[in-house]
C-alpha cells in the first residue's frame, strides 16, 4: 500500500472579513506543526491578505474557482494566471454549488482544470452525486462521468490533479457519508484514475461533506481517503485545527 500524506483544505465559501480572517489564520498558524498538508481556499478579494499572512509558513492557500479562459473580455471572471500571481497553490473547480447555481457542466469544469494546471495551480476537482442520484442507484455512474470529462481533457496531465468526492447531500447538511460509503466511492475513483494514469497511487482523493472534528478521524482512516475538503468547520479555528490534527 502506498502511503500518501494527507491534505486538509478549508473552503471558506462566501464567508470572511479582514478581522475574521486574521483571527482564523492566526489560530491555524499558531496550532502548527501539523502532520498533514493544510490549505485554505478563500474568496478572491482575500487572496492578497491571505498570501501575506501565510507567506513563509507551510500553510498553503488557493481560490474557490477560476475561469476556463486564459484572459479577455470575460467580465467578473478571474484567470488562473492571476491566481498564480497571488501564489495560489490550489483552485477548487466543479464544486457542487457552482455546478448547481452557475450551471457548470462536466466539460467546463474540465476546461477550468486544464487552464489551472497550465498555470501551475493544482485544481481540486469536485465530483459527487445528489440525493436523488444516490437513491436512484446512480452514484457510480455520476461520479465516473464527472471525473471522466477531466481525465479525457487533461490526458497525460490527469495525474496532477487533486480529486474531492463530495456527495451533494452531505454538503452543509450535517449529514455525512459513513466512512464505508465514502471509501466505496473513493476506491471506485482510484480505480478509474489507475486506468488513466500511472500516478493514481500517489494522487490525493479528498472527502468533503459535513466533516467535523468528531467524524474526521474515522473518515481519514479509510485506505483511499487522503484528507478532506472542509466547508463550515473550516471557519472556526479550533474545529479546523482539530480536523487537521485528525489527518496526521
Ligand atoms: C464544501 O463546501 O466543500 C463542504 C464540504 O462543506 P461542508 O463541510 O460545510 O459540508
Give the residue from 206, 239, 216, 181 showing the smallest Cα distance to 4: 206
Whole-angstrom Cα distance, residue 194 to residue 199? 7
pLDDT higher than 90, residue 3: no
Give the residue from 174, 245, 241, 181 showing the smallest Cα distance to 207: 181
**Whether the CB of 176 sits within 6 Å of ligand 1:** no
Average pLDDT over residues 190-208: 97
Whole-prediction pTM? 0.98
Sign of CA dihedral 150, 190, 90, 218: positive
**Whether the CB of 210 sits within 6 Å of ligand 1:** yes
Give the residue from 95, 17, 25, 35 showing the smallest Cα distance to 63: 95
Average pLDDT over residues 200-222: 97
Q: Which residues pair with 163 in a beta bridge?
A: 125, 205
Q: Which candidate in 97, 129, 166, 186 is catalytic?
A: 166
Average pLDDT over residues 26-55: 98
CA of 49 to the centre of ligand 1 (A): 23
pLDDT higher than 60, residue 1: no
Let me know: does 224 contact 186? Beta carbons within 8 Å.
yes
**Whether the CB of 123 sits within 6 Å of ligand 1:** no
Is 95 a known active-site residue?
yes
Query: Using only C-alpha atoms, what is the Rg of the chain?
Result: 17
Label residue 174 by pLDDT band (50, 70, 90): confident
Amino acid at each position: 500500500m502506498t502511503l500518501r500524506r494527507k491534505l486538509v483544505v478549508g473552503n471558506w465559501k462566501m464567508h470572511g472579513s479582514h478581522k475574521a480572517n486574521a483571527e482564523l489564520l492566526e489560530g491555524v498558524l499558531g496550532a502548527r506543526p501539523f502532520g498533514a498538508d493544510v490549505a485554505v481556499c478563500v474568496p478572491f478579494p482575500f487572496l492578497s491578505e491571505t498570501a501575506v499572512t501565510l507567506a513563509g509558513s507551510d500553510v498553503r492557500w488557493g481560490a474557490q474557482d477560476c475561469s476556463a479562459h486564459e484572459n479577455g473580455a470575460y467580465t467578473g471572471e478571474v484567470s488562473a494566471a492571476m491566481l498564480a500571481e497571488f501564489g495560489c497553490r490550489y483552485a477548487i473547480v466543479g464544486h457542487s454549488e457552482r455546478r448547481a447555481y452557475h450551471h457548470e457542466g462536466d466539460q467546463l469544469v474540465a476546461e477550468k482544470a486544464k487552464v489551472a494546471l497550465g498555470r501551475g495551480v493544482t485544481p481540486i476537482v469536485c465530483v459527487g452525486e445528489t440525493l436523488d442520484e444516490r437513491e436512484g442507484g446512480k452514484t457510480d455512474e455520476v461520479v465516473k462521468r464527472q471525473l471522466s470529462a477531466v481525465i479525457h481533457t487533461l490526458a497525460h496531465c490527469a495525474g496532477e490533479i487533486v480529486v474531492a468526492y463530495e456527495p451533494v447531500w452531505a454538503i452543509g447538511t450535517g449529514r455525512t457519508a459513513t466512512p464505508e460509503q465514502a471509501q466505496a466511492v473513493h476506491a471506485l475513483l482510484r480505480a478509474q484514475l489507475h486506468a488513466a494514469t500511472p500516478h493514481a497511487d500517489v494522487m490525493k482523493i479528498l472527502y468533503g461533506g459535513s466533516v467535523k472534528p468528531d467524524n474526521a478521524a474515522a473518515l481519514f482512516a479509510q485506505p483511499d481517503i487522503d484528507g478532506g475538503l472542509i466547508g463550515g468547520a473550516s471557519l472556526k479555528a479550533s474545529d479546523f485545527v482539530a480536523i487537521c490534527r485528525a489527518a496526521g
